[in-house]
Amino acid sequence: MATAEFGEAVRRWRDRVAPEAAGLPAGGHRRAAGLRREELALLAGISVDYVTRLEQGRASHPSAQVVEALARALRLSGTERAHLFRLAGLAPPGPETVPAYIPPSVQRLLDRLTGTPVAVYDAAWTLLTANPPYAALMGDPSGWRGCQRNGVWRHFLGPGTRARHTPESLRAFEAALVADLRAAVGRYPADQRLRRLVAELRTNSDRFAELWESGAVGHHEAARKTIDHPQAGPLSLDCDVLSVAGSDLRIMIYTAAPDTEDAERLALLTVLGTQTLTG
* Secondary structure percentages of the chain, helix, strand, coil, to 5: 50, 15, 40
Residue-wise pLDDT for 124-134, tens only, equals: 999 998 988 99
Dihedral of the alpha carbons of 113, 124, 49, 270, in degrees to the nearest 10: 20
pLDDT tens, residue by residue, 174-192: 999 999 999 999 999 999 9
pLDDT recorded at residue 28:
63
> Tens of pLDDT along 124-172?
999 998 988 999 999 988 888 888 999 999 999 999 899 999 998 898 8
pTM: 0.81
Kindly report the average pLDDT of the chain as a whole number.
88
Q: What would the CATH number be for the domain defined by 104-272?
A: 3.30.450.180
CA distance 111 to 23: 7
Fold of 4-87: 434 Repressor (Amino-terminal Domain) (1.10.260)
One-letter amino acid for residue 268 of the chain: L
Domain boundaries, the chain: 4-87, 104-272
| Calpha distance 97→3 (Å, rounded) | 25
- 22-54 pLDDT per residue, tens: 666 666 666 767 898 998 998 888 889 999 999
CA pair distance 94, 74, nearest whole angstrom: 20
Residue 62 pLDDT > 50, yes or no?
yes
195-231 pLDDT tens trace: 999 999 999 999 999 999 998 766 666 688 999 999 8
The alpha carbon of 209 is separated from its chain's Cα centroid by a whole number of angstroms, namely 25
pLDDT score at 1? 61
Q: What's residue 23's pLDDT?
A: 66
